[in-house]
Amino acid sequence: MKVQDLDELLGAPARLAIVATVADGDRWTFTALRGETGLADGNLHVQTRKLTAVGYLVREREQQGNRTVTCFELTEKGRQAFQNHIRRLSRALGGDGRFGRGDFSEKGRRQDKSQVW
């Protein structure tokens, strides 16, 4: 697998956690998304802005009583990017969620057949 095969935006753990969370198809409020991902307010704000800017998320503000609440949903573009990212990672793991074709040890390191190290 080459670096350019992966989606740079989804390579960041915070953004991947956000997209994986909203991939359930529900609308997520900022507060609920913060609770689910464990991200601090500032980090969640920055990361959702990046995902919104590229069209992976849609952000809407709605009135709930006397408060304005920010909600997020995954766009079709975001869903496709997430599915492609997962597909590429799965292929790198041998397609079935396991490492390669038995050439990795239990610690995830490629076994060196030369036995040099």
Residue ranges of domains in the chain: 3-92
The confidence band for 9, taking pLDDT boundaries of 50, 70 and 90, is confident
CB contact at 8 A, 97 and 90: yes
Residue 52 has pLDDT above 50, yes or no: yes
Which pLDDT does position 106 carry in this prediction? 46
**Which alpha helices (DSSP H) does 23-112 contain, by range?**
30-37, 41-53, 76-92
Yes or no: is domain 3-92 CATH 1.20.810.10? no
**pTM of the entire predicted model:** 0.76
The confidence band for 117, taking pLDDT boundaries of 50, 70 and 90, is very low
